[in-house]
């Protein structure tokens, strides 16, 4: 497992498409190629790296009144793997502004996500996966629904990993269908050692290129994370946490050129 970074869409579709809906989803790294349950969010082929079936329940509190909760189940058998995500998100105190830059007060939003990943391992070095997502979000009187079809390939030559994934997003905003899909392409590289993992993630979201760099250091049951990302604006994230056999606690701080936020999360998990 590696660094958690936050990515928030800057346009009017669900934040859960590119933002991270719950901490356990993020724990696979900025690119999601190092083989934890969270990796599947970025590259569905990473599902093939899981060695055991597992169940996770997670909750997250962020500054500005945002709450996330999720249940994740993954089933692994021989060369194939499958799973399901169920995630809910609620934000309070969202500031609204007019075109004249006048404050219109605050509002709240709610969103729901369900996702189904499937992966197949062709050899010990090559895995292919797909991920289907449905997302619904409500903000004041605006409703939005979206479908996302993701596909990914993963090459593993331990301690090195490389992956590529593509996201296509279709949706409806206030009964108006998007005329073309929103697309994101990710190319990622990672290197793992006993205590240190590093990743580099290159991606294109629409017509905007981006890059993320991350590192995680693990010492027994304590881990430290740090990372940097750039997509239209820069972001820096630092985090620390503890992980025992069946639970983890995590504290993170994220800052960019416009704002900052902190988050606290817990995860309970069980393998079988």
Give the tens place of pLDDT for each residue, 45-91: 877 777 677 788 888 887 767 787 888 888 888 788 888 888 887 87
- Plot region of 54 (φ>0 → left; ψ -120 to 50 → alpha; else → beta): beta
In a domain, 3, yes or no: no
What is the model's pLDDT at position 95?
Answer: 61
Q: How far is CA 124 from the centre of its chain?
A: 25
Per mean pLDDT, which range of 91-100, 106-115, 244-253, 262-271 is the poorest?
A: 91-100
Question: pLDDT-derived band of residue 177, with 50, 70 and 90 as boundaries?
Answer: low
In a domain, 236, yes or no: yes
Q: Residue 55 pairs with which residues in a beta bridge?
A: 73, 270
Number of structural domains (the chain) is 1
Range of the domain at 114: 15-271
What is the model's pLDDT at position 20?
Answer: 47
In a domain, 54, yes or no: yes
In a domain, 181, yes or no: yes
Query: What CA–CA distance (Å, rounded) separates 71 from 230?
Result: 30
In a domain, 4, yes or no: no
In a domain, 43, yes or no: yes
Tokens of 101: 């830059």
What is the model's pLDDT at position 60?
Answer: 80
What is the model's pLDDT at position 31?
Answer: 45
In a domain, 1, yes or no: no
What is the model's pLDDT at position 139?
Answer: 66
Please state the pTM of the whole predicted model.
0.76
CATH of the domain at 229: 2.40.160.40
In a domain, 7, yes or no: no
Tokens of 150: 């993701």
CA distances from 170 to 17, 87, 121, 147 (A): 11, 19, 28, 5
Model confidence pLDDT, tens digit, residues 192-217: 887 888 888 888 877 888 888 888 88
Mean pLDDT (whole number) for 100-117? 75
What is the model's pLDDT at position 21?
Answer: 46
What is the model's pLDDT at position 118?
Answer: 92
User: What is the rounded average pLDDT for all residues in the chain?
Assistant: 74
């Amino acid at each position: 497992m590696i660094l958690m970074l936050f990515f928030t869409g800057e346009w009017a579709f669900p934040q859960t498409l590119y933002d991270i809906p719950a901490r356990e989803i993020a724990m696979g790294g900025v690119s999601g190629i190092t083989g934890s349950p969270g990796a599947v969010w970025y590259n569905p082929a990473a599902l093939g790296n899981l060695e055991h079936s597992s169940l996770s329940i997670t909750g997250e509190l962020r500054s500005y009144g945002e709450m996330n909760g999720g249940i994740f189940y993954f089933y692994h058998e021989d060369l194939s793997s499958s799973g399901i995500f169920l995630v809910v998100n609620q934000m309070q105190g969202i500031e609204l502004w007019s075109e004249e830059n006048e404050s219109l007060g605050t509002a709240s939003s709610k969103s729901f996500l369900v996702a189904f990943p499937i992966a197949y391992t062709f050899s010990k070095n090559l895995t292919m996966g797909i991920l289907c997502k449905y997302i619904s979000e409500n903000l004041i009187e605006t409703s939005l629904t979206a479908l996302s079809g993701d596909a990914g390939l993963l090459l593993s030559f331990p301690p090195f990993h490389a992956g590529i994934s593509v996201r296509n997003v279709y949706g409806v905003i206030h009964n108006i269908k998007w005329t073309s899909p929103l697309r994101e392409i990710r190319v990622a590289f990672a290197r793992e050692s006993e205590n240190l993992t590093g990743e580099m993630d290159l991606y294109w979201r629409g017509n905007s290129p981006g890059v993320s760099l991350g590192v995680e250091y693990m010492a027994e049951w304590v881990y430290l994370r740090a990372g940097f990302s750039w997509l239209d604006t820069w972001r820096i994230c630092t985090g620390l946490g503890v992980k025992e056999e069946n639970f983890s606690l995590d504290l993170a701080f994220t800052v960019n050129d416009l704002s900052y936020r902190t988050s606290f999360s817990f995860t309970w998990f069980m393998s079988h």
